[in-house]
């Protein structure tokens, strides 16, 4: 990608030798963070599609089902809703759920089951993750991750530092005996599923009204399994609206 951009820039300079070129990428990225009414309406629909599919996930599971089978069904359900996957759908069975960016394959059904997917509707994206658990330890960790998400939701509103939200959730996980997340707590969504804004401890930028963010707290036990819960929210002056419940 960088090589293509470099070649394109050289061509432009040859075509317009007297022109001055400025990098406006950062300005465009910041403008994309705040959604207007039309964008919010479309993203609401994308989120509604994902939430509808999420409710049907458990019906796809069975003893002889493979990860790739469930992935295909999720993608097909999106097509039936006049949408397409906003990224490569992740279905992870058993120990594969401990890999955040697992590529769905031939593994047969095992718990827990982690499904991470999003709908692209009229070029705007949603991004959700649902994890299904069975054993006592898995249920206990699920409840901790869920509480971590609630902590984030309770903090989020216009004027709150993104880094403070991430730090609070990480501190909660550490108090429960787990490590900090090795990926961000969340990210902006829009024309792409990762739209330029990251919620991590190093980000001191403030949340702003009409940002739409995917919040995805997670705990992974290496080579065992992982639990991740992800929902999309609209930031408001005094709180948030959850778009994928």
- Residues in the chain predicted with pLDDT less than 50, given as ranges, are 1-3, 24
The confidence score (pLDDT) of residue 2 equals: 43
Residue 51 lies in a domain: yes
Number of domains in the chain: 1
With beta carbons less than 8 A apart as the criterion, state whether 200 and 187 touch. Answer: no
In a domain, 192, yes or no: yes
Tokens of 34: 């705040």
- Does residue 1 sit within a domain? no
Residue 158: which domain range?
26-242
The answer to whether residue 236 is domain-embedded is yes
pLDDT of res. 10: 76
Measured from the Cβ of residue 169, the count of other Cβ atoms closer than 10 Å reads: 26
**204 Cβ partners below 8 Å, 6+ apart?**
161, 162, 163
Dihedral pair phi/psi, residue 177, rounded to 5°: 95, 10
Judge contact between 235 and 212, C-beta under 8 A.
Answer: yes
Task: Sheet containing 231-236: give its strands across.
Answer: 198-199, 186-188, 212-215, 231-236, 239-242
**What is the Cα–Cα distance from 102 to 100, expressed in whole angstroms?**
6
Q: How many residues does the chain have?
A: 245
Please indicate, yes or no, if residue 6 is contained in any of the structural domains: no
- Range list of H helices, the chain: 2-15, 25-33, 37-56, 67-80, 136-155, 162-175
Q: What is the pLDDT of residue 1?
A: 42
Q: In CATH, what number is assigned to the domain containing residue 220?
A: 3.90.230.10
Would you say residue 5 lies in a domain?
Answer: no
Provide the pLDDT for residue 16: 85
**Is residue 12 one of the residues assigned to a domain?**
no
């Amino acid at each position: 990608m960088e090589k293509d951009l470099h070649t394109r820039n050289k061509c432009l300079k040859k075509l317009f030798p007297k022109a001055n070129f400025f990098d406006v990428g950062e300005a465009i990225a910041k403008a994309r963070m705040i959604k207007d009414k039309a964008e919010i309406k479309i993203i609401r629909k994308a989120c509604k599609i994902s939430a509808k599919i999420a409710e049907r996930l458990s019906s796809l599971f069975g003893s002889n089902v493979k990860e790739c089978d469930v992935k295909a069904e999720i993608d097909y359900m999106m097509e039936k809703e006049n949408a397409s996957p906003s990224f490569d759908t992740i279905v992870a069975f058993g120990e594969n759920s401990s890999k955040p960016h697992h590529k769905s394959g031939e593994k047969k059904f095992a718990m827990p089951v982690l499904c991470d997917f999003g709908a692209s509707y009229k070029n705007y994206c949603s991004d959700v993750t649902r994890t299904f658990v069975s054993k006592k330890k898995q249920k206990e960790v699920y409840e901790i991750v869920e509480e971590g998400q609630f902590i984030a939701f309770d903090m989020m509103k216009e004027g709150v530092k993104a880094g403070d939200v991430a730090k609070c959730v990480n501190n909660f996980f550490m108090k429960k005996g787990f490590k900090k997340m090795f990926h961000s707590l969340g990210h902006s969504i829009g024309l792409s599923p990762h739209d330029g804004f990251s919620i991590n401890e190093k980000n001191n930028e403030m949340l702003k009204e009409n940002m739409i963010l995917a919040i995805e707290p997670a705990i992974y036990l290496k080579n065992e399994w992982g639990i991740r819960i992800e929902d999309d929210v609209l930031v408001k002056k005094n709180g948030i609206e959850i778009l994928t419940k």
